Structure 1
Amino acid sequence: MTSKTAYAACLRKLNRRDYSYGELREFLLTQDLNSAEIEELLKDFLLNNYINDRRYAQSIYNGWLDGGLKGKIYLLLKLKKHKVAEEIVNEYTEADFQELELSRAKLLLEKYLKRTGTSFLENKMKIYNYLKNQGYSPRVINTALNECTNDFFE
């Protein structure tokens, strides 16, 4: 593949959705290009703002906020899956989403209990595992379960 056809292939990909620097680099590595050509193409995409990891991470974050009620761990895994730059992932790792995550976990817990008809007291471990699978940390899960237990018995 020539540099021009690789450039066109990247533009077609970027026409469908945003890509991180890492994702586009990975794609270019599968093409028949030398490392100098790959770096030149990536540099051009960065200069033209066709790829921007910070913007892409923000769109993933917005999707996380607007999408299902997943936890912070889910968000971080998605950023890593899409090969967003490590320093940007670290910013999201260090961000304090405690209150936001707790309210989302409690809302998800409420929906889960209504949907399944599960008894809160009898299936606490099952509920814990459900929240864990949705990307919540043990600290958030325990806080949500304790607050919901208090709400049920007030």
Structure 2
Amino acid sequence: MVTRRAALALFSGLLASALAPDFAQASSWLRVSRIHVDVSRLRRRRGDPTAQWVADAMPASVAQALGRRFARGAPGGAVLNVDIDDVHLLPMRMGEAPRIVDEITGFVSLAGPGVAPRRRSLRATAVFRPAARDMPMRVEANRRRVTLLVERFAAQIPRDLGL
């Protein structure tokens, strides 16, 4: 004999399993069709070439982090805005500090048709260990440091926006 509770539990389980693929599809439909990077605040604070390095590296890093969720120019796709506030590169000194912790801060927002607007503050850090070759080639070393920060920042975007 089947009780009402057992029947209700069975029916609820069947209903949940039938709807589960629909919920998965509902979250997987979201596509980002455009990435916009704003480094104006960073440019006011740190100037170029730092701001230009971020502007050059960020779109490709974000596209890579989004993976299949990024479809350039997809109709009905969402727009991802990346606003970088600041990049902190600590001075390189050999012997004093075996490692340097650099930081990038900013905001990301996602908006588009059928998407509830999302905005998050992000901060990423990267550890840099200066080598003797970095001292005479500071500009190249700083560019590598900024690129690593951008990659770390971009890698956080899908998780923090729930993508």
More helix by share: 1
Tell me the TM-score normalised to structure 2 length: 0.25
Higher normalized strand content (fraction of residues): 2
TM-score (norm 1): 0.26
Find the structure with the greater CA-based Rg. 2
